[in-house]
Amino acid sequence: VGIRTTLTLNSEIAWDAAHLAGGRRLMLSGYGPVGSGILLFSQPTNGVGAAIVLVGLGWMVGWILAAAALGERAAKAALDDAGD
């Protein structure tokens, strides 16, 4: 589980670096669905409920992509440092 890219799957050093760099963003990604779920308890109308769910999903996907990009950069840097 975690940031799975070709770099992180091939090296423990890259895996550690990617997760240290992107871990906080992965945690932030979970707040969108949780927040939208809490808002749905107020029983909004159908259109508003759908918008809340879509915003929560967008929040999650955006932060996951940001974490993956940051993790990939950290993995490359860690592998470059290990190779020197």
pLDDT exceeds 80 at position 70: yes
Residue 43 lies in a domain: yes
Distance CA 66, CA 26 (A): 9
Count of structural domains, the chain: 1
CA distances from 51 to 13, 42, 56, 65, 81 (A): 41, 14, 9, 21, 45
Domain of residue 57 covers 30-76
Residue 71 lies in a domain: yes
Q: What is the pLDDT of residues 31-52, one digit of tens each?
A: 999 999 999 998 888 899 999 9
Residue 66 lies in a domain: yes
Residue 1 lies in a domain: no
Q: Which is nearest to 16 in space by CA: 24, 28, 8?
A: 8
Residue 2 lies in a domain: no
pTM of the model: 0.83
